[in-house]
Amino acid sequence: MTVQDYDKQVATEIIASVGSRPEMLVQILVAFIERFGWITEDAIRQLAAELNLSRAEVHGVVSYYHDFRTTPPGRHVIKVCQAESCQAMGSRELSAHAERSLGVKMHSHTEDITLEPVYCLGNCACSPAVMVDGKTYGRVNAKRFDELVSTIQEQG
């Protein structure tokens, strides 16, 4: 997971490369998340100015989409699928295991790992599924979950 301090100059370059037009707002925010990890108040201010939108309009879009987090994530992000196919294969138990073993609840984070629910990763023939730092893993049981966590912890 990339988390970099917000940089106005970099942001301007991203806006220019995606397209400095109001209809590109969602796509610019997607690019901001990839680059900075979260949407800062400065980003909202800058987008409003550069796209000629009100801050309220930008804020409305940011707050609508689940992906546009407005607080910094941990260095690593683990998403555990909560949707029906994974439920049928024990995702409720897996989520409970994840919360217990990491010592955090969904939507919160340890120093370096953010734990989040996700509603379908499209890996439903390999349920339950988990996404770690943007990579999807299938047939994840508690043991495999712990291995995935150890791997990212070793990476630091």
Helix (H) / strand (E) containing 137:
strand 135-137
Q: Is 142 in the site for another protein (CB under 8 A)?
A: no
Q: Is 25 in the site for another protein (CB under 8 A)?
A: yes
Indicate whether 124 belongs to the interface with another protein (CB under 8 A): yes
d(CA 143, CA 98): 11
Please give the Cα distance from 82 to 90 (Å, whole number): 9
**128: how many CB neighbours lie within 10 A of its CB?**
29
| Cβ proximity of 148 and 80 under 8 Å | no
Rounded CA separation 138/94 (Å): 12
- Is residue 24 a contact residue for another protein (CB under 8 A)? yes
The interface mask with another protein, positions 59-88, x = CB under 8 A, is -xx--xxxxx--------------xxxxxx
Closest separation in Å from C-beta 131 to another protein: 7
By CB under 8 A, tell whether 89 contacts another protein: yes
Residues that bind another protein (CB under 8 A): 21-27, 29-30, 33, 60-61, 64-68, 83-89, 92, 96, 118-127, 129, 131, 134-139
